[in-house]
Amino acid sequence: MAASGSAVSVLTPNGRRQTVKVSANTPLLQVLEDVCKKHGFNPEEHGLKFQRLVLDLSLQWRFASLPNNAKLEMVVCSRPQTGAESAVRIALQMEDGSRLQGSFSSGQSLWDLLAHFPQTRSVLSRWGIFVAIANNTLYGSQLYISLL
């Protein structure tokens, strides 16, 4: 597990190395996006590789099974990272312990998910709404841009 203040070194396709600071909760996609932004690459066309393994960019640093100070390589992906939208089944647990379930497209935002259920529509009009997902907390406008 990465300690607070750890860094990872990424070798870009143009031969330059970029050091990115990571925390345990940093998604690998964020590491790729940071490097791509600094060097002018498109993150949708690239991936990260550690030794011979292409990494799952949806994982957080702590769950990626990478050593501290890992040296990653940025590679051109043979297939785009954004795949076709698929159907996902979501269960939303309310504060009172009840659960709301439904099927949604993976391209829908969390806001769309919350607006789908009549029980949550009244809550959406309040200020300070947040959603806690896997130790991450999303607030307000983040719900519009976060996809399932």
Q: Per residue in 42-93, pLDDT tens?
A: 888 899 999 988 888 888 888 888 988 899 999 988 765 555 567 888 887 7
Query: 12 and 48 in contact (C-beta within 8 Å)?
Result: no
Q: Per residue in 114-133, pLDDT tens?
A: 778 777 766 666 655 666 66
pLDDT at 136 over 50: yes
Query: Domains in the chain, ordered, with CATH?
Result: 6-76 (3.10.20.90), 87-147 (no CATH)
Share of the chain above pLDDT 90, in %: 22
Q: Give the three-class secondary structure for 35.
A: helix
Query: What is the average per-residue pLDDT within 103-113?
Result: 80
Check residue 6 and give its pLDDT: 84
Check residue 73 and give its pLDDT: 94
DSSP per-residue letters across 55-124: P-TTSBGGGTT--TT-EEEEEE-SS-SS----EEEEEEE-TTS-EEEEEEETTSBHHHHHHHSHHHHHHH
Q: Give 55's strand partners.
A: none
Reported confidence tier of residue 2, pLDDT bands at 50, 70, 90: very low
Check residue 78 and give its pLDDT: 72
Check residue 119 and give its pLDDT: 72
